[in-house]
């Protein structure tokens, strides 16, 4: 979905997904997916789709099943969080810095979060090896 998508677009998309008998859902954090991340997780649960996305907050505080995301908050990046990095890069461009001269930052740590309440609601058993490798397990 693009950043112009609205809530109703997501609801229609999930109806289509259900009609096509999808078995799982993977969603990114781009465009409207960030804004509607909790709705996406709620609809995935409603339609009984195991899902993985970029948002640990939806797994920690809501119906998300799995998230695997870059941990910018605790990284060794000189600017800190992802919004800080993006703001600094925009500022550099506005100052006239050539895009090729702006460093590219890559995360060095990723967080795997698993919500066992959602897994139970979906009648899923999460393998012990996956639980052991998770950074956060919500019970």
Q: Are residues 48 and 95 in the same domain?
A: no
32-57 in b/e burial notation, b at 16+ Cβ within 10 A? bbeebbebbbbbbbeeebbbbbbbbe
Task: Note whether residue 128 is domain-resident.
Answer: no
The answer to whether 59 and 136 are in contact (CB under 8 A) is yes
Q: Are residues 102 and 114 in the same domain?
A: no
Domain that holds residue 99: 72-106
Q: Are residues 101 and 113 in the same domain?
A: no
Task: Note whether residue 132 is domain-resident.
Answer: no
Q: Are residues 30 and 49 in the same domain?
A: yes
| pLDDT tens-digit series, residues 80-136 | 566 677 788 899 999 999 999 988 777 788 999 999 999 999 999 999 999 999 999
Q: How far apart are CA 5 and CA 16, in angstroms?
A: 15
Q: How far apart are CA 130 and CA 92, in angstroms?
A: 41
Task: Note whether residue 91 is domain-resident.
Answer: yes
Q: The whole model's pTM is what?
A: 0.78
């Amino acid at each position: 979905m693009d950043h112009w998508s609205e809530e109703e677009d997501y609801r229609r998309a999930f109806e289509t997904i259900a009609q096509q008998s999808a078995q799982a859902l993977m969603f990114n954090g781009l465009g409207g997916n960030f804004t509607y991340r909790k709705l996406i997780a709620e609809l995935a649960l409603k339609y009984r789709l195991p899902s993985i996305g970029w948002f640990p907050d939806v797994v920690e505080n809501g119906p998300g099943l799995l998230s695997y995301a870059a941990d910018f908050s605790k990284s060794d990046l000189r600017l800190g969080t992802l919004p800080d990095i993006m703001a600094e890069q925009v500022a550099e461009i506005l100052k006239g810095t050539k895009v090729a001269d702006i460093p590219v930052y890559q995360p060095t740590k990723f967080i795997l979060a698993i919500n066992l309440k959602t897994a139970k609601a979906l009648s899923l058993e999460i393998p012990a090896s996956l639980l052991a490798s998770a950074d956060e397990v919500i019970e």
